[in-house]
Amino acid sequence: MAGRQLLMTFPVTATSHSLDEYRARGGYAALAKALREMKPQDVVKEVAASGLQGRGGASFEVGRKWQVVQYDDGHPHYLIANADEGEPGTFKDRWILENNPHVLLESMLIASYALNVRNCFVYIRGEFDLPYRRLAGAVEEAYAAGYFGRNVLGTDFACDIVVYRGAGAYVAGEASGLIASLEGKKSYPRNRPPRLTVRGLYQQPTVVNNVESLSNVAGIVLHGAAAFRTVGTAKSPGTRLISISGHINRPGVYEVECGYPWMKFLDEDCGGVPGARPIKCVVPGGVSSKVLTGAEIKELVLSHEALWDAGSTMGSGGMIVIAEGTCMVSLLQVILRFYHHESCGQCTPCRHGTGWMHRIIDRIVAGGGVPDDIDRLYYVSKFNDGTTICGLGDAAGYACTGILDKFRDEFEYYIEHKRSKYGGSLECLKSS
């Protein structure tokens, strides 16, 4: 177990996702506490005091986002749980949706109470089947038990929820793209200002939080911000759900206390790399975060600040381990193909930049690379950074330069010899 745990605190069984078992574990006590003992602004204060950071990728503090919403501004407010988990390498929200959906629902109820939200939404990616069925089932259970609807727990508080299914678009995971999608349109992100907390869904103040971020709220409210802060590090309170995949013996979702040693996590918790091969590099938090080499991560702990100092980010907690012998040129090809495929096409730099990078890497892989292609990839990355409407363009650039910075020699080798230094392989056979 990678440190203390806040979310994965029970054995997963065929029925552990049910309302009965959730209640048996103490579920919905936090909601009762919030509604009966706390004022809405106390809840916001508590969440702000917890220092809970967003778990979707940007690590923006949840409390600070909430504080922007004016409780009594006369507008309807909306809350959306972002369950459009699509960052390659990330599958941790799926764990919550499948195994503990009620912790999300309870947290959303508390958040709705705190933010004066009458209608909240879960935007779940369209391809998710079991997670959707589990969540939808939990919603029905919660309605039947009187947690949603009018007079929740006998109070004046009323709240309704809709589980909204996406339809296949990575960019819908971006909060404003998600809102466009939830408005029944193509998922074009919006320019800020205005912030979504000022004008979001149907131009009304809207809070969009990641599933895991929200799911921490129930515990924070029940046990207090101070208790939450005893877990993790000072700058990264709490835990992170890390979904780990790639060249690793025991892939899956792990709850890791922030500050836990990285190599210990990989070697002891995840069983190390198949065949005990050395780690070439790790994608720390989804492909949009910059890769860190095996040498770079050796002494690192898993915390927002440690990764930030190392030039990367915890991102979405989607960790991919890449063993020595893997061709980084081929890997980058997969990544750039992905961004090209997922660019919504709205703004110029990303629309053309992602395609441009994809064509360059395809040509390199096909043996048609020229030395200045590497400069060109840097050029496109540079001018996608900070020039686009949403972060997808930046992310494509980070992913690209993250790999180029550290493995430039492999690209030069490929271009010069028209073949991969490592046979073009991405696979690494699992040790049997």
Partner 1 sequence: MKHLIPEFEKLRERFPAGFESSLVLPCVRRIQEDRGYVADTDIVELALYLGIPQIQIEEVLSFYTMFRRKPIGRWHLQFCHNVSCSMNGAESILAHVERRLGIKPGETTPDGRFTLSHAECLGSCGTAPMMMVNQAYHENLTPATVDALLEELK
Partner 2 sequence: MPEIFINGQAIQARDGQTVMDVAREHGHFIPYFCWHPQLSTAGNCRMCLVEVEGRGLDIACNMPVSKGMKVFTASDDVKAHRKAILQFITLNHPVDCGICDKAGECTLQDYHYEYNGEHSLSRDEKVRSTKFYNLSNRILLDNERCILCLRCTRFTHEVSKSMALGVERRGDVSNIRPVEDRPLSEDPYSDNIVDLCPVGALLSRQFLHKSRVWFLQPTPSVCPRCSRGCSIQVWHRKQEWRLKALDPRQNESIARVTPLENPAVNGPWICNVGRDLAQVFERARADEPMLKGRPVGIAAALDEARRIISTARHCVALVSNWGSNEELEAFKRYLGEVFHGFVKQDWQPQPGERIEDDLLIRADKNPNTARARELFGDDAPHFPEGTDVVLVWGEGFDFAQIPSRARVIFLNSYLQPENGHADVFLPISIQTERAGHYTNFEGVVSAFEPCFEKKPGVSDAEALFKALAAPARGHL
Interaction site with partner 2 (CB under 8 A): 169, 186, 191, 193, 340-349, 351-356, 359-360, 363, 370, 376, 379, 382-383, 386-389
Q: How far is the CB of 177 from partner 2 (least distance, A)?
A: 11
Q: How far is the CB of 55 from partner 1 (least distance, A)?
A: 15
253 binds, among partner 1, partner 2, none (CB under 5 to 8 A by kind): partner 1
50 binds, among partner 2, partner 1, none (CB under 5 to 8 A by kind): none
Which residues contribute to the site for partner 1 (CB under 8 A)? 76, 85-91, 94, 118-119, 125-130, 160, 162, 164-170, 181-187, 202, 243-247, 251-253, 283, 287, 318, 320, 322, 326, 330-331, 334-335, 338, 341-342, 344, 426-428
With respect to partner 1, which residue has the nearer C-beta, 243 or 312?
Answer: 243
With respect to partner 1, which residue has the nearer C-beta, 151 or 203?
Answer: 203
Asked if residue 26 lies in contact with residue 173, where contact means CB atoms within 8 angstroms, the answer is: no
Instruction: Record the tokens describing residue 301, joined without a space.
Output: 């702990």
Q: Which of 233, 231, 238, 221 is closest to 52 using CA atoms?
A: 238
Asked if residue 269 lies in contact with residue 254, where contact means CB atoms within 8 angstroms, the answer is: yes
With respect to partner 1, which residue has the nearer C-beta, 89 or 349?
Answer: 89
386 binds, among partner 1, partner 2, none (CB under 5 to 8 A by kind): partner 2
With respect to partner 2, which residue has the nearer C-beta, 143 or 383?
Answer: 383
426 binds, among partner 1, partner 2, none (CB under 5 to 8 A by kind): partner 1
Any idea of the CA torsion for 219, 314, 68, 97, to the nearest 10 degrees?
A: -50
Q: How far is the CB of 320 from partner 1 (least distance, A)?
A: 6
298 binds, among partner 2, partner 1, none (CB under 5 to 8 A by kind): none
Q: How far is the CB of 311 from partner 2 (least distance, A)?
A: 19
Give every CB contact of residue 84 below 8 A, 6+ residues apart in sequence.
123, 124, 125, 166, 172, 173, 178
363 binds, among partner 2, partner 1, none (CB under 5 to 8 A by kind): partner 2
With respect to partner 2, which residue has the nearer C-beta, 138 or 347?
Answer: 347
Asked if residue 291 lies in contact with residue 277, where contact means CB atoms within 8 angstroms, the answer is: no
400 binds, among partner 1, partner 2, none (CB under 5 to 8 A by kind): none
Q: How far is the CB of 352 from partner 2 (least distance, A)?
A: 4
Asked if residue 247 lies in contact with residue 268, where contact means CB atoms within 8 angstroms, the answer is: no
Q: Which of 332, 279, 282 is closest to 302 using CA atoms?
A: 282
With respect to partner 1, which residue has the nearer C-beta, 160 or 324?
Answer: 160
